[in-house]
Chains A and B, each alone.
Chain A
Amino acid sequence: MKTDDLIELLASGAGAAPSHAAARRYAAALGAGALAAALLMATLLGVRPDLAQAVRLPMFWVKIAFVASLAAAGVTAVLRLSRPGARLAWVPGALAAPVLAMWLLAAAALAGADPARRAELFFGETWTSCPLLVAMLSAPVFVAVLWAMKGLAPTRLRLAGAAAGLLSGAVGALVYSLHCPELTAPFVGFWYLLGMLIPTLLGALLGGRLLRW
């Protein structure tokens, strides 16, 4: 086939391209994924019974703000990495800022605590299960976001896969915080982050193969 014939083939009846395709795909993926994660959490783990009391504690909202800001920065990263030639610009900084802020809080909490209680602040009671449960709850969003990305045009596949993984991890952590009893900054800054990094790593590993177009 000659190139002119290909152009004719592509142009004829091409019609209008869908507008805001990326935003709509990701909205659908995040909506469906978060709903599935919430159902998984509610049926397998259960909402923490003292949620009504927990929402009065400032640290509960600090934890929510931590994962929500990572999710918001993750959405921006994923949108930009799905579009050829778009620059990341300030996005890496927006991803690092909540982590650094949580680490500062953690350092302050550990420094101000009685040395005998420090291990308790860091390990809590659920450190063995927290990262794995965050990773498990991220699975539906992980699949949905990779599906959405596959229909767009990422050109840096590993990085795009990692961003998709991080976004799904942050949404998974957001859902998990409705179950999780832990509220200390050292715990959240390490074990939550570890849980979010599991799908991030998985995304980086799978991106090259799954996202080709």
Chain B
Amino acid sequence: MRRIGEEGRLNAGEDRLRGLLVRGLAGEEPAYRAFLRELSAHLRAFLKKRLARMPDEVEDLVQETLLAVHNQRHTYDAGQPLTAWVHAIAKYKLVDLLRRRASRELLTDPLDDESDLLSSADADAAQARRDLGKLLDQLPDRQRLPIVHMKLEGCSVAETVRLTGMSESAVKVGVHRGLKALAAKIRGET
């Protein structure tokens, strides 16, 4: 009985989150924000369990995975189970982190159990050690300024165009490439 109950909750969580993401991908900002909030709690619980020996890394990896989900959101197919998609991204980023740390002994926990990703949540965010704000400051102006004006100060595209003197398409490309460059900086590539 308990198992059925848990599965029911899991499916309900999957349907709910999936609905939020699908609406978010169609351009509904509040739905997308709610999706990222709920997802971050699930990711935190999922990663805490798997990084039990590196608790300091958890919040950094939550942020890195959220950025990855955002940057790669165009690869989600609405016909696909959301859990499988999110799990594959979280696992990829987790393995990438462990590889970067080059500590194979930490790979003792099995990573292929995708079913429990949405069954637990942890809303208790610790302080991230890596400051994304500082990484953002290192981006070139053509990427940093559009992100700062549009994303942090809430300006529209037109206002950002006026403030930066950049063209409308350069502003949009700047945000897109800037967030990808931020992910590359986290990986230590540039």
Asked whether A16 and B133 contact (CB < 8 A) given A2-B125, A3-B66, the answer is no
SS class of chain A's interface: helix, strand, loop or mixed? loop
Bound Cα distance A188, B132 (Å)? 54
Decide: A7 near B66, CB < 8 A? Known: A83-B80, A85-B84: yes
Q: Could you tell me if A12 and B71 are in contact, using CB atoms closer than 8 angstroms?
A: no
Stretch at the interface among B3-11, B48-56, B148-156, B161-169: B148-156
Q: Which residues of B contact A13 (CB under 8 A)?
A: 29, 150-151, 154, 156-157, 175
Instruction: Compute how far the CA of A22 lies from the CA of B154 in the bound complex, rounded to whole angstroms.
Output: 30
Distance, CA A4 to CA B179, complexed state (A): 16
Q: Is B133 within 8 A of A1, CB to CB?
A: yes
Q: Is A155 an interface residue (CB 8 A)?
A: yes
Per the bound structure, the CA–CA distance linking A193 and B95 in Å amounts to 34
- A83 contacts which of B59, B85, B86, B147 (Cβ < 8 Å)? B85
Chain A contacts of B32 at CB under 8 A? 11, 14
How many chain B residues touch the partner (CB < 8 A)?
A: 57
A1, A10, A84: which contacts B131 (Cβ < 8 A)?
Answer: A1
Q: Whole-angstrom distance between the alpha carbons of A8 and B43 in the complex?
A: 17
Given A1-B133, A83-B75, residue A10 in contact with residue B70 (CB < 8 A): yes
A3, A16, A18, A19: the one within 8 Å of B62 (CB): A3
How many whole Å from B50's CB to the nearest CB in chain A?
16
Q: Give the number of A-B contacts (CB < 8 Å).
A: 120
| Chain A residues in 8 Å Cβ range of B145 | none
**Shortest CB distance B85–A (Å):** 4
Does B73 count as interface, using CB distance less than 8 angstroms?
A: yes
Instruction: Check B67 for interface membership: any CB of A closer than 8 A.
Output: yes
Shortest beta-carbon distance, B58 to chain A, in Å? 10
| Interfacial chain A residues near B187, Cβ < 8 Å | 212
* B binding-site residues for A, Cβ under 8 Å: 24-27, 29, 32-33, 36-37, 40, 59, 62-63, 66-68, 70-77, 80-81, 83-89, 91-92, 96, 114, 125, 127-128, 131-133, 136, 147, 150-152, 154, 156-157, 175, 179-180, 183, 187, 189
List residues of A whose CB falls within 8 A of some B CB: 1-4, 6-19, 21-22, 82-86, 152-153, 155, 212-213
- 23 A-B pairs whose Cβ atoms sit less than 8 Å apart in the complex: A1-B128, A1-B131, A6-B66, A7-B66, A8-B33, A9-B147, A9-B152, A10-B36, A10-B151, A12-B151, A13-B175, A14-B29, A16-B25, A17-B74, A19-B74, A84-B86, A84-B92, A86-B84, A155-B89, A155-B92, A212-B189, A213-B71, A213-B72
